Amino acid sequence: MTVTAMMKPDLLKWLAERDPSRLQELYERADGVRREHVGDAVHLRGLIEISSHCVRQCMYCGLRQGNRALPRYRMTRDEILDCARHAERLGYGTVVMQAGEDNALTAKWIGDIVRWIKRETSLAVTLSLGERSQSDLKSWRAAGADRYLLRFETSDQDLFRTIHPNRVPDGPDRLTLLRQLKGLGYEAGGGVMVGIPGQSFDSLAQDILTFRELDLDMIGIGPYIAHAATPLGTGALRPAISAGEQVPSNEEMVYKMIALARIICQDANIPSTTALATINKVDGRKRGLRAGANVVMPNLTPVKYRRLYEIYPEKACIDESANDCNQCLRGQILSLGRFAGEGQGGRGAKETLASVLPDPSSRFVQLQAS
């Protein structure tokens, strides 16, 4: 069987696999696909958490409107622009502006910021602002936004509805939105949490097939982490599931999902996520990078806001400055024998080490050699 011909029964078999040597085989296979299709560059995407206000009530997320204990913030335009400049100084190719679903982030306000970043820097701009209207998404694309992240969280529609209670009636579902984003010319990023209460192995296999069906440009996969200020986190909400079918929310499940996503969607950009680094603070990020991932997302949010963007508790790197994370991540990347990408790192951009090293005929290199 060729790896790309993997079908649902093969996926299910791998998702249930526990044997360490078989799993090592899977990760190495995914790592090989990663090297062949996207190369050894690890792209750095600077994350700016621009607002923690949210009108939604997602049953797992600490930013849900019902969490009244959480003080909310919204960054100013100048603070966001400072972060973008900082990203460029640190040599990142992309900034990701993420927020809860905050209606005060108007089409014009976001559009103006996107235009400024595209005019003043060489950064790619990724937006991750939730389920927004077609006209908002269209105007941001016209302003120059390159990419949009919207995880569909689970392909099990019943579970999706249970954990996303106050959806806009008759609004498009997230799979439809992802197709529309691609139609608008965005690179589209989807993804899932692993180990959501009520999530079955069968639905997880279906999630991977959905990544392929949508032909996603980016795929974010992280563990579900219980948050005590949410109905799923306290156990007040317990979606029904038969015994043995519940997916655990452990790191091994996440590595398996990253590896299978890489094998099935060979050239997608796949981050080793902060949630993964949160459940294994020692080497979660590195292990994700060795199981098929090729992207990391260092946090650029001003430290004074970090704790307030509490999607889940005990987030990795909560007190580290942007400069510290930059150095730490670059060290991790080099220790894997890989290198930090220097371009925007869009889908299909395969940087080689030679392409990021200075040209040997350049004056800089000649001066260094002399």
Q: What is the 3-state secondary structure (H, E, C) of 146-187?
A: CEEECCCECCCHHHHHHHCCCCCCCCCCHHHHHHHHHHCCCE
Among 11, 42, 48, 61, binds ligand 5AD (CB under 6 A): 61
Rule CB under 6 A: say whether 60 interacts with ligand 5AD: yes
Dihedral (CA of 291, 292, 294, 299) sign: negative
Regarding 328 and contact with ligand FES (CB under 6 A), the answer is yes
Which span (206-214, 219-227, 260-268, 318-326) binds ligand 5AD, by CB under 6 A? 219-227
**What residues numbered 118-177 form the site for ligand 5AD, per CB under 6 A?**
151, 153
Which parts of 312-331 interact with ligand 5AD (CB under 6 A)?
312
Distance in Å, CB of 249 to ligand 5AD, minimum: 8
Give CA separation, 226 vs 207, 283, 311, in Å.
21, 21, 10
List the single partner that 227 binds among ligand 5AD, ligand FES, none, CB under 5 to 8 Å by kind. Answer: ligand 5AD
Q: Extract the tokens encoding 219.
A: 């795929």
Per DSSP, 62 falls in state T
Cα–Cα distance, 247 to 155 (Å, whole number): 14
Tell me which of ligand 5AD, ligand FES, none is bound by residue 289, counting a contact when its beta carbon lies within the kind-specific cut-off of 5 to 8 angstroms: none
275 binds ligand 5AD (CB under 6 A): yes
Structure tokens at 303: 């430290």
Q: Residue 317 binds what, of ligand 5AD, ligand FES, none (CB under 5 to 8 Å, by partner type)?
A: ligand FES
Give the residue from 192, 187, 197, 200 showing the smallest Cα distance to 174: 192
Is 351 a binding residue for ligand 5AD by CB under 6 A? The answer is: no
Q: How far apart are CA 28 and CA 35, in angstroms?
A: 10
Site membership for ligand 5AD, residue 56 (CB under 6 A) = no
Q: How far is the CB of 140 from ligand 5AD (least distance, A)?
A: 18
> Which residues contact residue 329 at a Cβ distance below 8 angstroms, ignoring those fewer than 6 apart?
44, 285, 296, 298, 340
Residues making contact with ligand 5AD (CB under 6 A) = 60-61, 151, 153, 193, 222, 224-225, 227, 275, 311-312
